[in-house]
């Protein structure tokens, strides 16, 4: 049966040019800053059962060259973003779909419970 959930929250304060992130469970988060990727770390746990007593909030500068990719553990553990994933001009929904497609292979298919969310600085329909 279901025991709980993995949860991540990313908040952009556009006025302060700041991204705040925290997560619990198997949620991956990768931030592209000017073409370089780095991990944002979720705490181990299960929301609803084994929630950590304290949450670690990470902060990062948010600017026009940033892209945030959040994903469930349905992506293969060796998935690494490509340079195309960091294109801020791409529609975030297309970036998410391409990420799922490219992370899959015949040897390591993406699971049916895979979820990917992409946050870019400018909406695809304009500022």
DSSP code per residue over the chain: ----B-EEEEEEETTTTEEEEEEESSEEEEEEETTEEEEEPPBS-BBTTB--SS-PPEEEE--TTEEEEEEETTS-TT----GGGG-TTS-HHHHHHHHHHHH--SSSPPPTT--EEEE-SS-TT--
Distance between CA atoms of residues 73 and 108, nearest Å: 13
Residue-wise pLDDT tens digits, 81-117: 887 788 888 889 998 998 888 887 766 667 667 889 9
Domains and CATH numbers, the chain: 7-119 (3.60.40.10)
Rg, the chain, Cα only = 15
Region 44-57: mean pLDDT is 81
**118 - beta bridge partners?**
69
- What predicted TM-score, i.e. pTM, was given to this entire model? 0.86
**Residues whose CB falls within 8 Å of the CB of residue 124, separated by 6 or more in sequence, listed in order:** 90, 91, 92, 93
Mean pLDDT of the chain: 85
Mind listing the pLDDT tens digit for each residue in 38-49?
999 998 888 888
């Amino acid at each position: 049966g279901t025991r709980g959930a993995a949860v991540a929250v990313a908040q952009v304060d556009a006025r302060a040019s700041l991204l705040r992130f925290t997560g619990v469970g198997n949620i991956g988060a990768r931030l592209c800053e000017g073409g370089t990727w780095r991990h944002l770390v979720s705490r181990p746990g299960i929301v609803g059962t084994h929630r950590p007593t304290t949450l670690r909030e990470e902060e990062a500068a948010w600017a026009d060259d940033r892209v945030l990719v959040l994903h469930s553990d349905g992506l293969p553990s060796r998935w690494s973003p490509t340079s195309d994933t960091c294109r801020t001009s791409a529609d975030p929904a297309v970036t998410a779909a391409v990420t799922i497609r490219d992370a899959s292979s015949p040897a390591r298919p993406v699971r049916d419970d895979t979820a990917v969310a992409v946050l870019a600085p400018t909406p695809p329909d304009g500022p």
